[in-house]
Structure 1
Amino acid sequence: MIHFQSIEKKKRDPYFDLLLIGDEGVTEVEKYLDKGELLLVLMDQFAIGVMLFIPVDQTTIELKNFGLLPEWQRKGFGGQALMLAIAYYRERYQKMEVGTGNSSLDNLAFYQKCGFRMVAIKSNFFSNYAEPIYENGIRCLDLVVFEKTIENN
């Protein structure tokens, strides 16, 4: 069964490689590593991923990073973890926001299947990364921003 463990700021370094699954920019991950809440995604007692959430304002929480080990991807575990996180934040926030690269075709489909809607595109967001990112034969340059209403009604 999937569940979370919150990781204190001073104990996050061992999970850096998992964060690099969700964001290939080492410098960028270092900038937000100690912000927000880092949730270790566990299957029973085995760490299969991480989710880092940062409050945007009093009504919106951002999923800043979601790194799931490759062998656990495309099997429904990411969706389960995301739905659990939505339930976790539902009492405190009205909306959840997440961004992904224009070249991340699997992520674009994943977030839409989870009920997120595209709300913005931040052009050239990834153009300042130290190394260019290519996925699916496409250069990752733009950030596609998704949003989902999560509040209890």
Structure 2
Amino acid sequence: MRIRLLEADEAAPMHLLLLADPSEMLIKDYLASGQCYVLESEQSEILGAFVLQAQNTTKIELVNVAVSEAYQGHGLGRILVEAAIETARNQSYQQLLVCTGNSSIGQFALYQKCGFRVESIERDYFIRHYPDVIIENGIQCRDRICLTQNLSES
């Protein structure tokens, strides 16, 4: 497997990115100003992706991490998050931000296992920004939990 930056003339793997964010409009918005990386198998099949978007000169956000449903539960999410951390560090960012929903239990645990700490909670974010109700793990996704990692400390 290898992780690479998506080429300028390549279409983003929207089917994967929609697994992590149900708003195609928001995905297109952050793809326009972000960097999309893909995880490929030896047969060049795209198994996962992540998108980084600079917030300022010192802070970058991991705005999407997605793994093909057929490959979920095999550690690829952790590989993608660790690659995003390393990419941000190599680009000389001092802090990496990632946000998730209150109902995204597995993602929340993964980010903490990868060294992220809770920074803030934005109440009712998903109610205000998404037209449809989002249910995950039998829980309504309402609040956005933001976590950060200081890249100079880890």
TM-score (norm 2): 0.89
CA RMSD for the aligned pairs?
Answer: 1.8
Verify the 8 A CA contact 1:41 1:47 in the aligned structure 2: yes
Secondary structure at the residue paired with 2:52?
strand
Verify the 8 A CA contact 1:54 1:63 in the aligned structure 2: yes
Q: Using the alignment, how far apart are the partners of 1:10 and 1:129 within structure 2?
A: 29
Q: Percent identity?
A: 31
For each residue in 1:46-65, what CA deviation from the matched residue of structure 2 results, as whole angstroms up to 9, or x when unmatched? 21011010001111110001
Query: Which residue pairs with 2:134 in the alignment?
Result: 133
For each residue in 1:80-135, what CA deviation from the matched residue of structure 2 results, as whole angstroms up to 9, or x when unmatched? 22212222221311111100001111111111111110101111111131211001
The unaligned stretches of length 5 or more in structure 1 are none
**Pair 1:104 & 2:104 matched:** yes
Query: Which residue pairs with 1:50 in the alignment?
Result: 49
Task: Provide the aligned length of Structure 1 versus Structure 2.
Answer: 151
Q: Using the alignment, how far apart are the partners of 1:105 and 1:21 within structure 2?
A: 15
Query: Which residue pairs with 1:124 in the alignment?
Result: 124
Superposition pairs of residues 1-153 of structure 1, within 5 angstroms? 1=1, 3-13=2-12, 15-44=13-42, 45-91=44-90, 92-127=92-127, 128-151=129-152
Verify the 8 A CA contact 1:119 1:145 in the aligned structure 2: yes
Shift of 1:9: 4.8
Shift of 1:31: 2.2
Instruction: Identify if the C-alpha distance between structure 1 residues 152 and 110 changes in structure 2 by more than 3 Å, giving closer, same or farther.
Output: closer
Verify the 8 A CA contact 2:116 2:147 in the aligned structure 1: yes
Q: Which amino acid aligns with 2:132?
A: E
Question: Structure 1 residue runs of 4+, over 2 Å off?
Answer: 8-13, 43-46
Q: Using the alignment, how far apart are the partners of 2:3 and 2:66 within structure 1?
A: 13
Verify the 8 A CA contact 1:12 1:33 in the aligned structure 2: no
